Structure 1
């Protein structure tokens, strides 16, 4: 099997299946960082957006698993190499957490591992419920805005209420910290003026180990209400908010533990 999207790769590895080929292996190991040992013998087949058909063909895979959003346009060419299964990880833009469940079920069916996926999702739900019940006093009703730094500019990619991570945090007991409407892909770019409009009792969680210099050195940064009130926190090591159950669970834990 070859996987051409990190969500597909994460699901396969979470099920104990090691792809013979994978797109952007080094990036997956850095950002997603789920079951990396399962990629020890995998061959990198190029970029996620533009995988190498020649490299895939050389591996003679029995199946290609990837995202409908990313690779529907080349599905016919991929199908000349091996059966292609496209998962709908971006289908439900109003509730992208629902798409996480859907894509896991689709991958399980493609891999003939539907029962294993059912157990995986049951475990996921159970662990999220433990986070909710175990830390209700610290997190219930706390308003959050989760954001990802954008390199080289004093802006952040802020996740909207329809993002998978936002939906997951609501299940744990957090509340949305902004009035942002649903956004394509679950996020919108926010500048310093946009951050200034966040509610005073919101906490801004930045994905990373340090506040980017582009923000810190901006004259407006220290005057932002959330900054002046000490309501900016960091998740720590790189986190992947666009993945499947394992990466989302890891990110949720990172956020919860910074409130307890």
Structure 2
């Protein structure tokens, strides 16, 4: 009887200890929650000031066609993007990568309601297009704007890569692009000494393009000479039909800014280049005048288009002698 009583007491003590241990564990667990990851905040300086961006944004809205190509080149798919200037709704050279991305208007009129509904982590745009609505955009999500477009592709790419927290990947993409430029320039050799002229045709008018535009920058990177009339650190200047001889050179590349389904710009190009003044130009007499893809050479303005532009240039110069 004494043994039995003793065993009962021992078992009771063991049971009590076990129970208290379990309760202690539960209490400890409730007082020490699992640590959560802290998103690092970064301050991005851009055209409108400074914006704080947390961590690596996952849901991106992009308000320029140039910016869309930046994201795609970085392996990032935006949740929303402005439609391309040509195409329905995307440029042919990127449309196979744009499935599932919501159209949120165009660069000049992005739809704020659609943008808000997407609940983005980050909005990327440009001051030259969206300065007036910056405060509204920034109220939706942290917003980073470039100063301009066109000739500032590389700087804009670097700014976006920084905002997206993928600077290392961005550096690699730019290194690959620079290698492409270097190799293409070597293949072109003395052909880069030929003086290149650039022009843009719109309905009823034309512009002579200088060096500070998208195609002009790529030509400069490749080391091409420009005509005396176009060898200026400026963007472009409108000309009349009577002034078309300013487009003369060793080679003329021109693009026509037709909207989808229209040919009015191309019709203007044909009319002006058929004019007797134009027919007397050296470039036409030598058969070195080429209409090129407007999306690639001008309006898209992104790094994907830049690579295609380099390939285009090499293709045209295969048959041109220095």
Q: Could you state the TM-score of these two structures normalised by the residue count of structure 2?
A: 0.69
The alignment status of 1:257 with 2:315, answered yes or no, reads yes
Residues 14-62 of structure 1: CA deviation (Å, up to 9, x unaligned): 1111111111257467775454333211111112111111111111111
Residues 60-102 of structure 1: CA deviation (Å, up to 9, x unaligned): 1111111122112211101111111112344xxxxx64x2221
The alignment status of 1:177 with 2:177, answered yes or no, reads no
Find the counterpart in structure 1 of residue 241 from structure 2.
Answer: 192
Mean Cα displacement is larger for which, 218-227 or 7-16?
218-227
Mean Cα displacement is larger for which, 22-31 or 230-239?
22-31
1:65-76 matches, within 5 Å, as: 65-76=124-135
Mean Cα displacement is larger for which, 229-238 or 68-77?
229-238
The alignment status of 1:3 with 2:62, answered yes or no, reads yes
1:1-260 matches, within 5 Å, as: 1-25=60-84, 27=86, 32-90=91-149, 97=151, 99-137=152-190, 139-150=191-202, 152-153=203-204, 155-180=205-230, 181-183=232-234, 186-199=235-248, 201-207=249-255, 212-218=266-272, 219-220=275-276, 221-236=278-293, 238-242=295-299, 243-260=301-318
How far has the Cα of 1:6 moved from its partner?
Answer: 0.8
Q: Conserved in 2, the CA contact under 8 Å of 1:144 and 1:204?
A: yes
Structure 1: distance between partners of 2:295 and 2:129: 23
Structure 2: distance between partners of 1:255 and 1:195: 23
C-alpha distance 116-20 of structure 1, shift in aligned 2 (>3 A): same
Residues 124-161 of structure 1: CA deviation (Å, up to 9, x unaligned): 10001111011213x231110122221x31x3333212
Q: Could you state the TM-score of these two structures normalised by the residue count of structure 1?
A: 0.84
Structure 2: distance between partners of 1:76 and 1:43: 22
Q: CA RMSD in A?
A: 2.6
Unaligned runs of 5+ in 2: 1-59
How far has the Cα of 1:207 moved from its partner?
Answer: 2.6
Residues 167-201 of structure 1: CA deviation (Å, up to 9, x unaligned): 32133231112424333xx22223333321345x4
